[in-house]
Amino acid sequence: MRLPKFEYIEPKSLREAVKILSAHPSETSLLAGGTDLLVNMKYGVVKPTTLINLRSIPKLNYILEEKETLRIGSLTSLHDLYTSPLIQEKFPILSQAAREVGAFAHQVMGTIGGNLCQGNRCRFYNQSPFWRSVRPPCFKAGGEICHVIKKTKECHSTYCGDMAPALIALGARVKVIGPQGERIFPLKRLYTQNGKKPLSLRKGEILKEILLSQSSGKSIYLKWRWRGSIEFPIVSLALYIEKEDNKISLSRVVFSGVGEGPLEISEIEKSLLGSTLEGSIIDSVSEQVTKLVSPMRTSIYSPAYKRKMAGILLREGLDKLK
Amino acid sequence: MKRILKLNVNGEDLEILVEAHKTLLEVLREDLGLTGTKRGCDLGTCGACTVLIDGKPWLSCLTLAAAVQGKKIITIEGLAEDGKLHPLQSSFIEKGAIQCGFCTPGMILTAKAFLEEIPHPSEEEVKKAISGNLCRCTGYIKIIEAILSVSGREE
């Protein structure tokens, strides 16, 4: 499959990139690792007339520790992330999640920023033009229908990233740069939970870095998929737990693959507060979570199966962090 | 619009004219005639198009040629030195790790980058490393044996 023609630009700074992106945001795409974007361009579901290669901008690939904060440049490759001794020691969940993305070459090519901004997926959308030609285009492909749920007025494509749940579980913040300058906000707010426009980035904004504060809790990332490699998660879970006097004082429960964005389940976090994880609490929250997630049939896996697996992953995660 | 691309392929400095929408795979196969790099799925799933860029495995079907300006690229054609096969190539032949041969270039280049990173891997580590390179003939056993034998970890 050949790529369509486009104008290719190599900016020398983020400011220059922001300027070009702001001029024609809907027709311009940002290229980082390309493992998501170029596939979508070959499929003809993303059709930029201009491509900005962020790799031409120096100094966006770094992992720096400054006082209480760890800063990760958005162009840091997933491979650099999981081979970093600093990440392995201080945030092992990130190293774990990065190893679960695609396979060796995808990890070398793929960047943390690109991974966080990867497109939502759906079995009716991520397909060749020939495959899609038998149906009218869906919301996400610019049409007026959702093939997953016919009566709905919105796109239900699913967020399937691995890094976002892990980073949200760690309470990460992101710094974006735009025409009005820089702003910092919690990573969770980068996601709109809207399948057609999954990211809350404003016109001309580019993700610059990820900020992490040192945390004292334990965390784990569990990814459920058929093969041990390459695939996106059917369901995955990032779990973070902080304890005081052996009781949970803070927890974050974040799923991928079950919603239009990474999904933090605050009801479960409330149920876990103050618990020692002894007795029936693990059983009850694992049961409770199957009713709190509502995945759509956007892949070959049924929503009922995904709900069941969400419960199984939560049980496994809590058992391991007990 | 065409642009001038300077790169080093298999030790040779080249200057070529490429269009921005051409992938590295297309340039290698069609412009440079290096057909050892295979076009499989063309979507980054099968690993047949793997080449080494600055020593690391990249999927050339998902890499814009224009974006590898100034990089050092190694394809399967550049692995043998002075007519002598690379140890991985010899090992693949000895162990019978090649059947149709379509996955072999990508498989060997991925293995090369992996062994440079982890010179004495376990079998599980080898499996994980080549998990992005699909082989539909061998069943992988002989490929894993071939890689382990180069690492001196043969059972």
pTM of the complete model beyond 0.90: yes
Q: Is the pLDDT of residue B89 over 70?
A: yes
The pLDDT tens digits for A51-102 are 999 999 999 999 999 989 999 999 999 999 999 999 999 999 999 999 999 9
- Flag whether residue B145 sits within 8 Å of chain A, measured between CB atoms: no
Contacts of A1 in chain B (CB under 8 A): 42-43
Residue A280 to residue A277: CA distance in whole angstroms: 8
- pLDDT score of A215: 87
The pLDDT tens digits for B97-141 are 999 999 999 999 999 999 999 999 999 999 999 999 999 999 999
**Mean of per-residue pLDDT scores for chain A:** 96
- pLDDT score of A227: 87
What Cα–Cα distance (Å) separates residue A220 from each residue in A189, A251, A316, B94? Answer: 22, 12, 10, 42
Q: CB–CB of B64 and A38 under 8 A?
A: yes
- Rounded to a whole number of angstroms, the distance from the CA of B59 to the nearest CA of chain A is 6
SS (H, E, C) A259-308: CCCCEECHHHHHHHCCCCCCCCHHHHHHHHHHHHCCCCCCCCCCHHHHHH
- pLDDT score of A242: 96
95-124 in chain B: CB under 8 A from chain A: 110, 113-114
Q: Is the pLDDT of residue B67 over 70?
A: yes
Q: CB–CB of B67 and A229 under 8 A?
A: no
Residue A74 to residue A207: CA distance in whole angstroms: 7
Pairing label, strands A235-244, A247-256: antiparallel
- Rounded to a whole number of angstroms, the distance from the CA of B58 to the nearest CA of chain A is 5
Contacts of B59 in chain A (CB under 8 A): 35, 105-106, 109
Binning pLDDT at 50, 70 and 90, where does residue B155 land? very low
Residues found in chain B = 155
Pull the structure tokens for residue A68. Answer: 């209480």
Contacts of B64 in chain A (CB under 8 A): 3, 8, 31, 34, 38, 51, 53
- pLDDT score of A228: 85
Assess: ipTM above 0.85.
yes
Q: Looking at A127-265, list the stretches that DSSP marks H as alpha helix, in order from N- to C-terminal side.
A: 129-132, 163-169
Contacts of B74 in chain A (CB under 8 A): none
Residue A72 to residue A69: CA distance in whole angstroms: 10
Q: CB–CB of A105 and B58 under 8 A?
A: yes
Chain centroid to CA A77: 15
Consecutive H or E run containing B50: strand B50-53
The pLDDT tens digits for A152-193 are 999 999 999 999 999 999 999 999 999 999 999 999 999 999
Phi first, then psi, for residue A134 (nearest 5°) are -80, -10
Q: Which of B3, B130, B132 sits opposite A102 (nearest CB)?
A: B132
The pLDDT tens digits for A240-294 are 999 999 999 999 999 999 999 999 999 999 999 999 999 899 999 999 999 999 9
Closest residue of chain B to A8, computed from CA coordinates = B20
Residue B51 to residue B24: CA distance in whole angstroms: 9
- pLDDT score of B153: 59
